[in-house]
């Protein structure tokens, strides 16, 4: 929900070529409790100001010399790419009201100003604007949660599947190879049991950071859940690069971790599969790498094995 304090702390820009109108509107708003008010008498400056400050509301005079409010709104549309134009049109001409709404303004106020009308329309538009922003941010958060692991921020299963699909298309088209490295932390359950799940969560986040540092920008690091991680490596030269990536990951993760004054050490086992040698689709490659991981665990852990 939008609070009264949020509304009063919104960013407002007043645009009018007449100083008297600017002063009057600013005085009305400040007396009502609004704190973040900016003004300009130059309509040409509006777009740059909005691009830099992202105002929650622009009180825009429609009739100004050199560049009118309708032209300003056309420029603002290029900035507000989501289609929401936070403009309250200001006009003394009744005929301009409908045109202003058709041009994207959300509402209008008439000259000469009526104090009660100005304050009600400003309040209502700011409330709508802030609700719109909250809804958009919530939508972004849901989208991120749908594609990323909420603990580490790494790709989740869904995003991994999309990235592997693209990598496989690229590999088939270019007759090249791609690789999957399946990693599992050795003894992670013991850390949770002895130091607590809070420490375990911090360790997983640190593991994620180290894994990201071992791969190229185009590669994907994913967390499947628990202490299982995947490296999906684009356009590799074959077993040489894949084995090097697995070795680098194991070495990076074996370095000690300082967590709340505790020095934590952990090792990692890994299984590696290569397209097309060990599978021609994502599911088969993951299964092949998982079987190779099992072999690495069986061989004494803290090592990697190639799929057969």
- Is it the case that residue 17 has pLDDT exceeding 80? yes
State the Cα–Cα distance between residues 227 and 17, nearest whole angstrom.
63
CB 214 within 8 A of CB 252: yes
pLDDT at position 284 is: 96
- Segment 221-248, tens digit of pLDDT: 999 989 999 999 988 877 888 899 999 9
CA trace torsion 135, 141, 146, 148 (10° rounding): 170
Which string of b and e fits 120-147 if b means at least 16 CB within 10 Å? Answer: ebbbebbbbbbeebeeeeeeeeeeeeee
> Residue 96 class from Cβ within 10 Å (0-12 exposed, 13-18 middle, 19+ buried)?
buried
Q: Give the least confident one: 97-101, 113-117, 175-179, 236-240.
A: 236-240
CB 56 within 8 A of CB 9: no
CB 107 within 8 A of CB 120: no
pLDDT at position 241 is: 85
- Is it the case that residue 124 has pLDDT exceeding 80? yes
pLDDT at position 254 is: 95
Q: Give the least confident one: 83-92, 100-109, 218-227, 233-242.
A: 233-242
Question: Confidence class of residue 1 from pLDDT cuts 50, 70 and 90?
Answer: low
Residue ranges of E strands in 92-174: 107-110
Question: Confidence class of residue 143 from pLDDT cuts 50, 70 and 90?
Answer: low
Residue ranges of E strands in the chain: 11-15, 36-40, 57-61, 87-91, 107-110, 177-186, 220-225, 228-236, 257-259, 262-264, 267-275, 304-306
Compute φ and ψ for 64, nearest 5 degrees: -140, 150
**Percent of the chain scored above 90 by pLDDT?**
69
- Is it the case that residue 139 has pLDDT exceeding 80? no
State the Cα–Cα distance between residues 87 and 121, nearest whole angstrom.
11
- Is it the case that residue 278 has pLDDT exceeding 90? yes
Q: Which of 61, 227, 281, 290 is catalytic?
A: 227
Q: Work out the mean pLDDT of the chain and round it to a whole number.
A: 91
- For the chain, the distance separating the N- and C-terminal CA atoms, rounded to the nearest angstrom, is 57
CB 253 within 8 A of CB 268: yes
CB 110 within 8 A of CB 92: yes
Residue carrying the six token digits 């429609």: 62
Is the model more confident about 94 or about 58? Answer: 58
Catalytic annotation present for 227: yes
Instruction: Indicate where the chain has its CATH 3.40.50.2300 domain(s).
Output: 4-146
- Is it the case that residue 2 has pLDDT exceeding 80? no
pLDDT at position 131 is: 82
State the Cα–Cα distance between residues 228 and 247, nearest whole angstrom.
16
DSSP calls for 60-75: EES--SSS-HHHHHHH
Instruction: Indicate where the chain has its CATH 3.30.70.270 domain(s).
Output: 157-306
* CATH number for the domain running over 157-306: 3.30.70.270
pLDDT at position 236 is: 85
Instruction: Report the topology of domain 4-146.
Output: Rossmann fold (3.40.50)
**Percent of the chain scored above 70 by pLDDT?**
98
- Segment 49-59, tens digit of pLDDT: 999 999 999 99
- DSSP H or E stretch at residue 145: helix 115-147
- Is it the case that residue 290 has pLDDT exceeding 80? yes
pLDDT at position 144 is: 66
This model's pTM is above 0.75: no
pLDDT at position 248 is: 94
Which residue from 8, 123, 33, 37 is spatially nearest to 106, judged by alpha carbons?
A: 123
- Is it the case that residue 142 has pLDDT exceeding 70? no
């Amino acid at each position: 929900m939008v609070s009264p304090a949020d509304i009063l702390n919104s960013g407002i820009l007043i645009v009018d070529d007449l100083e008297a109108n600017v002063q009057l509107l600013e005085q009305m708003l400040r007396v009502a409790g609004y704190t973040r008010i900016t003004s300009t008498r130059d309509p040409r400056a509006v777009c740059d100001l909005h691009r830099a400050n992202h105002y929650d509301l622009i009180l825009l005079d429609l009739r100004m010399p050199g560049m009118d409010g309708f032209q300003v709104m056309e420029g603002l549309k290029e900035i507000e790419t989501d289609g929401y134009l936070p403009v309250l049109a200001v006009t003394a001409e009744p005929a301009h009201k409908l045109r202003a709404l058709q041009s994207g303004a959300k509402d209008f106020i008439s000259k000469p100003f009526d104090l009660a009308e100005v304050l009600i329309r400003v309040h209502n538009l700011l409330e709508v604007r802030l609700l719109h922003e909250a809804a958009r941010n919530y939508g972004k958060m849901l989208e991120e949660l749908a594609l990323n692991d909420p603990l580490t921020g790494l790709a989740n299963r869904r995003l991994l599947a999309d990235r592997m699909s693209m990598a496989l298309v690229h590999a088939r088209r270019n007759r090249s190879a791609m690789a999957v490295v399946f990693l599992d932390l050795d003894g992670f359950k013991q850390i949770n049991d002895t130091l607590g799940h809070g420490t375990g969560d911090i360790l997983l986040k640190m593991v994620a950071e180290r894994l990201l540092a071992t791969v190229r920008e185009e590669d994907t690091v994913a967390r499947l859940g628990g202490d299982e991680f995947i490296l999906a490596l684009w356009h590799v030269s074959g077993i040489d690069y894949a084995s090097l990536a697995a070795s680098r990951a194991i070495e990076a993760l074996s370095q000690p971790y300082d967590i709340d004054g505790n020095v934590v050490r952990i090792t990692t086992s890994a299984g590696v599969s290569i397209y097309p040698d060990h599978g021609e689709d994502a599911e088969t490659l993951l299964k092949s790498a998982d079987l190779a991981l099992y072999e690495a665990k069986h061989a004494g852990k803290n090592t990697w094995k190639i799929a057969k």
